Structure 1
């Protein structure tokens, strides 16, 4: 049985990649390959690629227009991170990362401690373009938390503005609890995003990971406030966000 023609590319580095331009190229290739071989079209969520998907789907009604699931998962992280209940911990995370980012001496001594303890991951800055960027930074602090406390206790570093989070017992305990709370909620989504960025991902994988996210967070919230320190009100807000994005 004859299969579709071989794939080919095009050197268009000197062209403006507008939605109309991308759609034109896609429609030409789909027509060449045969629309019967194409079930769906997907891309990231930039303006030009979204428009191109819409135009292709309008030209070929049998082709499903898939939105970017990773983008939607990241938006869900943003929704949860923006909840008032997490603003304090997010602000503290930013201050800690800013301190280390601006202090080469503190970064170096922490790196030495990590090497001694066999901890490979360093602190990760929060950026505007990376998915789950706040969680990456927060999780990296949690991994190095015992080492930072030791350095503060020994007087080797003093984390500007938030030093009590690593020194004063009550403040340190509350900080760790809030850190674990936030990281535990976001972790299933962040890990799913990383997995779904694989070139081998299929729509079925997206569905499975969405179910896994919902199940993981439901299980965590179901442990009760005595374990998670998450109020019923906050749990309801998180559940509403997940259901909306789903």
Structure 2
């Protein structure tokens, strides 16, 4: 590594350090440089590839997918639902009692055996895939949380969350559950691609293949009638626009 805690890590600094490593090994042994798209690293890649024209400038494919998931998560159709997901998870992360009761509630094996409990997942600030992981985990626990709330075993400080689980037939609950399902289904192809591309065995061609696979999966999902997919045309068009824009940025 390069020690530079007392220096500004601008594009020139990053490019210079990488160039030293390349020169030490030999430029003929490098095909590309890759990084996320923060200002200094993106500019450093360009400086480096302008200087060594045999090296390609590549973005970090996983970082790009994370940002695509962020764009989808920021859609107005999903923001209220994800805000509620955060509030629910926050309660369980701070209440050992509620977590214990939920764990017991999910021990409902047909033969008296415990079923594996899928723990609720906290949402990270920059790991946008955790939005989907959190939503997916919560979806599996909704009936259990609803049962615990209606039987007064647990209660939420947030009146919005408490009201959500005490009245399943309310419009608020129906909208929340639908939004959760829509989000899980539309983001799932990106998540699966992300998991594969994070592998140390993934190569550059896999990036293109899995972006195409994600697009094909979304096309198949959005081609179904709304009463089957649960996804309205406007939402589908917004997600398609995000996918196309991010695809063009990368390729």
SS in structure 2 at match of 1:155: coil
Q: Which residue of 2 is the match for residue 170 of structure 1? A: 169
Shift of 1:180: 0.9
TM-score by length of 2: 0.84
Match of 1:204 in 2: 205
Q: Quote how far apart the aligned CAs of 1:183 are.
A: 0.9
CA distance in 2: counterparts of 1:48 and 1:120, whole angstroms: 43
User: For this pair of structures, how many residues does the alignment match?
Assistant: 237
Whole-angstrom CA distance in 2 between matches of 1:109 and 1:143:
15
- What value does the CA root-mean-square deviation take over the aligned residues? 2.2
> Using the alignment, how far apart are the partners of 2:149 and 2:77 within structure 1?
27
Is the 1:81–1:87 contact (alpha carbons within 8 Å) kept by the matching residues of 2?
yes
Q: What do residues 173-213 of structure 1 show as CA deviations (whole Å, max 9, x unaligned)?
A: 44322211111111111222222122222111111111111
* CA 136–224 in structure 1, closer or farther in 2 if over 3 Å, else same: same
Which has the larger displacement, 121-130 or 106-115? 106-115
Question: Given the alignment of the two structures, is residue 179 of structure 1 paired with residue 180 of structure 2, yes or no?
Answer: yes
Unpaired segments ≥5 residues, structure 2 = 109-113
Q: How does 1:64-143 map to 2 (within 5 A)?
A: 64-114=56-106, 117-143=114-140
Cα deviation, residue 239, structure 1? 0.9
Q: TM-score w.r.t. structure 1 length?
A: 0.85
What's the counterpart of residue 220 of structure 2?
219
Q: Distance in 1 between matches of 2:169 and 2:222?
A: 24
Moved more, 103-112 or 199-208: 103-112
Change (3 A) 1:234 1:131: closer
- Per-residue CA deviations over 1:40-95 (Å, capped at 9, x if unaligned) read 11123344432332221111012110012222212211211111122221222122
1:126-160 CA deviation, whole Å, 9 max, x = no partner? 22132323222212211222221221232211233
- For structure 1, the residue ranges without an aligned partner over 5 or more in a row are 1-9
Regions of 4+ moved over 6 Å: none
**Partner residue, 1:21:** 13
- Tell me: CA distance 1:17–1:63, structure 2 relative to 1, closer, same or farther (3 Å): farther
- Whole-angstrom distance in 1 between the partners of 2:2 and 2:64: 31
Q: Contact 1:69/1:206 (CA < 8 Å) preserved in 2? A: yes
